Amino acid sequence: MTAKRIIACLDVKNGRVVKGVNFLDLRDKGDPTELAARYEDEGADEIVFLDVTATIEGRKALLEVIKNTASVLSIPLTVGGGIRNIEDVSTILGNGADKVSINTAAVENKKLITEAALQFGSQAVVVAIDAKKVGKEYVVFTKSGTYNTGLNAVKWAKEVEALGAGEILLTSIDRDGTREGYDIVLTKAISDSVNIPVIASGGAGKEVHFLEALKVADAALAAGVFHDGIIKIHELKMYLKSQGMEMRL
Amino acid sequence: MRATVINYGVGNLFSISSGLKRVGFEVSVNSEPFGNEDLVVLPGVGSFSAVSGYLGSRREVFEDMRKSGVYFLGVCLGMQVMFEEGTEGGISKGLGWFKGKVDKLIQNNKERLKLPHIGWEKLVVTDLTCPLTEGLNNQYVYYVHSYVAYPDDESIVRAVSVYGISYPAIVCSGNLIGTQFHPEKSSKVGKVFLGNLYRWVKK
């Protein structure tokens, strides 16, 4: 049985962690490399950096961070945010990331998914889907959740699989940051419709939320609850194992 | 101990280089073996046919390297090309150091197992006397793959994992070693394996 994965996500801006990190000794440093290493030590199965930089200088700083992190981390590192083209993919992977996560650019230029999968393998290509309930339907939003693409989330998930994506990082916009739990209906709908791993994201607040998510998804991602120390990764994994989940401890 | 990580133009070489450095190797990255190293490492990224293409005219270099008795570690795809042939991206030739072929992990996906197989799986050590497998039994290692090796000679298999089927996780014959999992991505357990390898090469 493949172990279910717990993934810690860090928002990185200009090479620094930007929000919600309450570890006393890290608050001032905001050093993503240090925090990533700490999460590995606590039992995280993967790390995701989400680059929220808008400047060229910030992108350069990110590449430095990826390099430094890859040299200390020995679990997989995914980098997402602002990836527009195959050169971006190549640069990020070439600097030490194992996977890239593509969101807006995947919708605007579907060929990018296939191109990246052919060149670097499907395993390196995560497509991030941000979904929001509109009426009775889950719809895909891009541009940090601001732009309604009109795409049905399940249909889009099937399409990205066919285009060559190796994993789907599925975020519920409705639940993101609420700590009310993952959107299980959405996660199950996507997970049942594709044959590639699905990572649940958005809404984690309690340990039981992870349990619910991992019953339908392959991995669960969280940011705030880890940064704020509300949930400790090792304790979380012990709990999940006690509930019958296959976990790496 | 000097290790050369082979760069064939794609993917992440930082992790494997760092993993080797952490256990004590001096690491260089080059497109071919230098000829004076203790260990040559072929990392695992891309597709079988792409790596087969890279090997192309360099087969002799690698054959000479093998005959010299230097230690060799193939990781993931790097292990797969140590076999005779692979079916990914059309049938293409491997190095043929191990008899057998590389084919899809799941032939008939009735259980709807997710592919690529991405994640942590337990190692089941089948040869507990092999110094490479010390401390690895029942430990989780990280996999990213859709293809596995089907060796003709089961005696080269030192450990297996199970995903739909039981498949080789560690193979070894003489100085030639291959892992289907990524030791450089397998956290502490990966470090244990690379440490075992370091001591083995040093001996």
pLDDT of residue B57: 84
Tokens 């499907």 correspond to A122
| pLDDT at B148 > cutoff 50 | yes
Give me the percent of chain B exceeding a pLDDT of 90. 79
Q: What is the domain partition of chain B in residue ranges?
A: 2-202
Q: Residues of A with CB below 8 A from B22's CB?
A: 74
What is the distance in angstroms between the Cα of B16 and the nearest Cα belonging to chain A? 9
Parts of chain A with a pLDDT under 70:
19-29
Chain A residues lying within 8 Å of B121, measured CB to CB: 2-3
Q: Which of B47, B114, B188 minimises the CB distance to A121?
A: B47
pLDDT in tens, A93-130: 989 999 999 999 999 999 999 999 988 888 899 999 99
B184 an active-site residue? yes
Please tell me the predicted confidence (pLDDT) of residue B51.
83
Is the model's pLDDT at B43 over the cut of 80? yes
Q: Taking residues B118-143, what's their average pLDDT?
A: 96
Judged by a CB distance cut-off of 8 A, whether residue B15 touches chain A is: yes
Per-residue model confidence (pLDDT) at position A40:
97
Q: Residue A237's pLDDT is what?
A: 98
Chain B CB contacts of A45 under 8 Å are 119-120
Whether residue B14 and residue A122 make contact (CB cut-off 8 A), yes or no, is no
A121: closest chain B residue by CA: B46
DSSP code, position A224: H
Q: What angle do CA A223, A225, A226 make, to 5 degrees?
A: 70
Structure tokens that stand for A113 in this block: 């998914």
Strand order in the sheet with B98-104: B92-93, B83-86, B98-104, B147-151
With b meaning 16 or more CB within 10 Å and e meaning fewer, what string describes A107-142? beebebbbbbbbbbbbbbbbbbbbbbbeeeebbbbb
Asked if B10 lies within 8 A of A71 by C-beta distance, the reply is no
Amino acid in the structure at residue B81: V
Residue B12: closest C-alpha in chain A: A96
Beta-carbon separation of A3 and B163 below 8 A: no
Prediction pTM value: 0.93
Residue contacts between A and B (CB atoms, under 8 Å)? 91
A59 alpha carbon, distance to own chain's centre: 19
CB-CB contact of B190 with A74 (8 Å): yes
Tell me which amino acid residue A46 is. Answer: E
Closest partner CB to B187 (pick from A70, A75, A123): A75
CB contact under 8 A, A121 and B14: no
Residues in B closer than 8 angstroms to A8, CB to CB, are none
Nearest to B114 among A72, A74, A196 (CB): A196
| pLDDT, tens digit, 9 for 90 and up, residues B49-107 | 778 888 888 999 999 999 999 999 999 999 999 999 998 878 889 999 999 999 999 88
CA–CA gap between residue B149 and residue B168 (Å, rounded): 7
d(CA A17, CA A120) in angstroms, rounded, equals 28
Cis-peptide, bond into residue A197, ω within 30° of zero:
no
* Closest Cα in chain B, distance from residue A147 (Å): 30
Nearest-CA distance B96 → chain A (Å): 23
Looking at residue A54, its pLDDT comes to 72
Distance of CA A181 to the CA centre of its chain: 16
Q: Specify whether A11 is catalytic.
A: yes
CB-CB neighbours of B152 under 10 Å: 11
Report strand pairing: B124-125 vs B98-104: unpaired
Q: What percent of chain A has pLDDT over 90?
A: 80
Residue that the structure tokens 């916009």 belong to: A173
User: What ipTM was reported for this prediction?
Assistant: 0.90
d(CA B65, CA B37): 10
Round to whole Å and give the CA distance between B21 and B191.
Answer: 10
pLDDT tens track for B153-185: 999 999 999 999 999 999 999 999 999 999 999
- Report the CATH fold assignment for B2-202: Rossmann fold (3.40.50)
Residue of A nearest to B19 (CA): A74
